[in-house]
Amino acid sequence: MARWQPDARSRLQEAALTLYGERGYDETTVAEIAERAGLTKRTFFRYFADKREVLFWGSELLEQQMVAAIEAAPASASTVSLLQAALDAAAVRFEEVREYAGLRQRIIASSPELQERELIKGASLAAGMAQALRARGLGETAAALAARTGTTVMHVAFEQWIGDPQRRSFAQIARDALAQLREITSA
């Protein structure tokens, strides 16, 4: 087997998601994932710490890019438009993995351990966004409220997006959800 594998990470992710979906997450081993991808266990561990991390790879990048979008917005941007910018950045990441997003969500819903991990990633994202908002001058309470509002819209829009019969873009669904939240809270 060649030392260098073109796109080994994607092949491992695809193999893992397929096996988790077919057999269940708990029942799948790293050896089976590697075999399905036509790679070795050693290669698997070059890319992922364990079989759980296959499902959460990319969450640091998601947080970085949402934070970067908040940092890059014009000084005059309102808090809502900062959240919008962060959601637009999330949309780019999500559209890249659209094909597997629904399957990934079902796998996570099947395991309390994975659900806990997902909640922790969500809390980390809200904390990262709150920090970026404070760096732009928001007070602690305003930053915490706004960051959690951003992750609320992201999570609710994500659930809609993976089951959307019209296959609208995540960006569009998130825009609509943010508008709906604004309507609810203004009434």
Distance in angstroms (rounded) separating the CA atoms of residues 82 and 133: 8
Of 2-10, 12-20, 31-39, 155-163, which segment contacts a second copy by CB under 8 A? 155-163
Q: Which of 57, 136, 145, 164 binds a second copy (CB under 8 A)?
A: 145
159 binds a second copy (CB under 8 A): yes
Shortest distance (Å) from residue 102 CB to a second copy: 17
As given in the structure block, the two tokens for residue 81 are: 């438009």
Residue of 89, 102, 83 whose CA lies nearest to 151: 83
Q: Which is nearer to a second copy, 25 or 44 (CB)?
A: 25
The angle at the Cα of 166, spanning 159 to 104, to the nearest 5 degrees, equals 35
Count of residues interacting with a second copy (CB under 8 A): 30
Amino acid at 170: F
Distance in angstroms (rounded) separating the CA atoms of residues 58 and 162: 18
Residue of 19, 8, 21, 23 whose CA lies nearest to 57: 8
Q: Which of 18, 156, 164, 169 binds a second copy (CB under 8 A)?
A: 156
61 binds a second copy (CB under 8 A): no
131 binds a second copy (CB under 8 A): no
Q: Which of 142, 164, 169, 172 binds a second copy (CB under 8 A)?
A: 142
115 binds a second copy (CB under 8 A): yes
List all residues 6 or more positions away from 143 whose beta carbon is below 8 Å from its beta carbon: 130, 131, 133, 134
Of 14-22, 39-47, 90-98, 142-150, which segment contacts a second copy by CB under 8 A? 142-150
Q: Which residues bind a second copy (CB under 8 A)?
A: 78-80, 115-116, 119-120, 122-123, 141-142, 144-146, 148-149, 152-153, 155-156, 159-160, 177, 180-182, 184-187
